[in-house]
């Protein structure tokens, strides 16, 4: 793994006019550049007011700059952050001057990459930086903050440590067959492998919740035509997003909006009504409704309080359960139909999309149901991403194969190979696996060659 030796610079704030802009530079030339530009290198982490003059001595702006000395900076290198007025022209002039003094433009994500290479962050923490920037809800922000502070990294360290112990035991019988080692205990090893598989599966179970945090909880509003689905969408969004008419079947395609409900972000999807006798165009809209329902995380099943309970298509009805569905009885400001029988066991709330009655109760129910989607992994809020899930799946497969071979009293060498595959997969998440750990643990545990 090669370590950078040059100095990079880039704008640290979004392009455009603003109150301030921040220009960052990181690398071995930073200390000398700070001294050349400002005539002084201040104590680390102390902001200082100064004029920024370019290499020709021309005044560019009145700035604040902060110097961070290696290794106690974000990147682990000497770093400077220059806060200038938020005129894009000023920020560009400062960047051009830094490039003229020997910096090069930073590549996308390069500051975080250097932080990883210099041991300031593991890979999961580096990814959490981006999650933190793009968090769309309180829950997503909390998960990103915990991952940035090493929650997932700590879990991986525990798994790696336990797997290294198992691998050390297995490899001891391969590399040092003549040493005075404890008798082989396959059952103890199998128990440890079972614990590893359980912990891996627990982390994998957070994958879908992670997708919900990053993309929003896919919430489908469904029901029969003219039940008030589009009116409910407009009420929840807070504006007239969907056209509403007394004529049934006016929604022919689905509409999507993002909203916040409590600490959760929702992808709220209004769908075409489920009509038992649709026209050809309605049928196409219903097909799209069924497609959205097949992938939904949460359902708002809207019933018309003035009509009997309608039947749902079997494929959609099979997806609904009290764990993912709230029954919304709309038009509750009107006399209820004699034949309306609300499904038992489901969370249910009477509302009026016309007047707003019951909307706060609905939001409370949605927030509570969304809370239940979180998969518990101890005290930390962990929600892995797709890359983590791929690596954990690889590790799980390797652990299962190793377990099967041990149960069949297969080759110890092949078992060790599978366990090394699992170790490499775990290492893909944090980027901190060193195969020398195995030998270090082996010698310290068994005192071989003492």
pLDDT-wise least confident of 134-138, 203-207, 262-266: 134-138
Residue 229 assigned to a binding site: yes
Within 176-204, where are the H helices? 186-204
**Does the annotation list 6 as a binding residue?**
no
Q: Is residue 30 within 8 Å of 56, Cβ to Cβ? A: no
Contact 274, 251 (CB under 8 A): no
Confidence of residue 242 (pLDDT cuts 50, 70, 90): low
Strand partners of residue 59: 53
Whether residue 18 is annotated as binding a ligand: the answer is no
Confidence of residue 65 (pLDDT cuts 50, 70, 90): very high
Q: pTM score, two decimals?
A: 0.80
Mean pLDDT of 12-33: 94
Q: Is 231 one of the annotated binding-site residues?
A: yes
Check whether 228 is labelled as a binding-site residue: yes
Mean pLDDT of the chain: 85
| Residue 227 annotated as part of some ligand binding site | yes
Residue 285, annotated as binding a ligand:
no
What is the pLDDT at residue 410? 74
Does 235 count as an annotated binding residue?
no
Residue 162 has pLDDT above 90, yes or no: yes
Cα gap 266→215, rounded to integer Å: 8
Rounded Cα distance between 285 and 296, Å, is 17
Of the candidates 75, 96, 86, the one whose C-alpha atom is nearest the C-alpha of residue 22 is: 86
CA dist., res. 127 & res. 115, Å (int): 12
Burial class of 325 by CB neighbour count within 10 A (0 to 12, 13 to 18, 19+): buried
The answer to whether 115 is a known ligand-binding residue is no
Give the pLDDT band (50/70/90) at residue 417: very high
Token duo for residue 214? 């990053």
* Domains and their CATH numbers in the chain: 8-117 (3.30.1360.120), 138-206+381-446 (1.20.120.430), 215-371 (3.40.50.300)
Confirm whether residue 270 is marked as ligand binding.
yes
The continuous run of DSSP H or E covering 213 comes out as helix 207-215
Residue 222 gets the label, from left (phi > 0), alpha (psi -120 to 50) or beta, of: beta
pLDDT band at 4 (very low <50, low <70, confident <90, very high): confident
Asked if residue 385 lies in contact with residue 210, where contact means CB atoms within 8 angstroms, the answer is yes
More confident residue, 269 or 377: 269
pLDDT per position as a tens digit, 82-110: 999 999 999 999 999 999 999 999 988 88
Annotated binding residue 128: no
Is residue 401 annotated as involved in ligand binding?
A: no
What pLDDT score was predicted for residue 446?
45
Percentage with pLDDT > 70 across the chain:
85
Average pLDDT for 145-167: 91
Per-residue pLDDT, averaged over 306-321, amounts to: 85
- The answer to whether 7 and 28 have CB atoms below 8 angstroms apart is yes
Position 24 scores a pLDDT of: 96
Can you tell me the distance from the alpha carbon of 252 to that of 103, in angstroms, rounded to the nearest whole number?
56
Check whether 186 is labelled as a binding-site residue.
no
Higher per-residue confidence, 424 vs 273: 424
Is the model more confident about 135 or about 283? Answer: 135
Q: Is the pLDDT of residue 437 over 70?
A: no
249 is in an annotated binding site: yes
Q: Is 251 one of the annotated binding-site residues?
A: yes
When pLDDT is cut at 50, 70 and 90, the band that residue 280 belongs to is low
Output the pLDDT for position 314: 85
With a CB cutoff of 8 Å and minimum separation 6, the contacts of 293 are 220, 222, 271, 299, 315, 316, 319
Report yes or no: 318 and 237 within 8 Å, Cβ to Cβ. no
């Amino acid at each position: 793994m090669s370590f950078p030796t040059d100095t990079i610079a880039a704008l640290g704030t979004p392009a455009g006019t603003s109150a301030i802009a921040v220009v960052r530079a990181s690398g071995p030339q930073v200390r000398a550049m700070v001294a050349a530009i400002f005539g002084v290198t201040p104590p680390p982490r102390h902001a200082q007011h100064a004029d920024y003059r370019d290499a020709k001595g021309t005044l560019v702006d009145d700035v604040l700059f902060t110097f961070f000395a290696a290794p106690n900076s974000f990147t682990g290198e000497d770093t400077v952050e220059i806060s200038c007025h938020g005129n894009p022209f000023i920020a560009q002039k400062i960047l051009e001057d830094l490039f003229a003094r020997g910096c090069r433009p930073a590549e996308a994500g390069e500051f975080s990459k250097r932080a990883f290479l210099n041991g300031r962050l593991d890979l999961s923490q580096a990814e959490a930086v981006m999650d933190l920037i793009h968090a769309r809800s309180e829950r997503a922000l909390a998960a990103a903050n915990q991952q940035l502070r090493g929650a997932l990294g700590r879990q991986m360290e525990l798994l790696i440590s336990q797997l290294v112990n198992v691998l050390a035991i297995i490899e001891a019988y391969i590399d040092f067959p003549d040493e005075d080692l404890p008798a082989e205990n396959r059952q103890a090893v199998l128990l440890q492998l079972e614990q590893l598989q359980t912990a891996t599966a627990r982390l994998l179970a957070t994958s879908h919740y992670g997708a919900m945090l990053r993309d929003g909880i896919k919430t489908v509003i469904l029901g029969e035509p003219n039940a008030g689905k589009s009116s409910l969408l407009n009420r929840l969004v807070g504006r007239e997003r969907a056209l509403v008419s007394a004529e049934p079947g006016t929604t022919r395609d689905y509409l999507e909006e993002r909203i916040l409900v409590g600490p959760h972000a929702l992808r709220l999807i209004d769908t075409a009504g489920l009509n038992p006798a649709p026209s050809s165009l309605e049928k196409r809209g219903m097909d799209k409704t069924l497609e959205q329902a097949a992938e939904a995380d949460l359902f708002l099943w809207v019933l018309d309080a003035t009509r009997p309970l309608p039947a749902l298509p079997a494929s959609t009805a099979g997806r609904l359960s009290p764990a993912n569905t709230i029954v919304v009885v709309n038009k509750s400001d009107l006399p209820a139909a004699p034949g309306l029988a609300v499904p038992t066991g489901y969370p249910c709330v009477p509302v009026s999309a016309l007047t707003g009655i019951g909307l706060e109760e609905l939001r409370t129910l949605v927030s509570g149901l969304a809370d239940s989607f979180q998969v518990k992994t101890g005290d930390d809020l962990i929600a892995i991403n797709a890359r983590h899930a791929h690596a954990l799946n690889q590790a799980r497969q390797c652990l299962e194969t190793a377990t099967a071979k041990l149960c069949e009293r297969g080759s110890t060498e092949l078992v060790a190979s599978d366990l090394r595959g699992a170790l490499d997969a775990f290492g893909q998440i944090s980027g901190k696996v060193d195969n020398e750990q195995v030998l270090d643990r082996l010698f310290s545990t068994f005192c071989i060659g003492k």
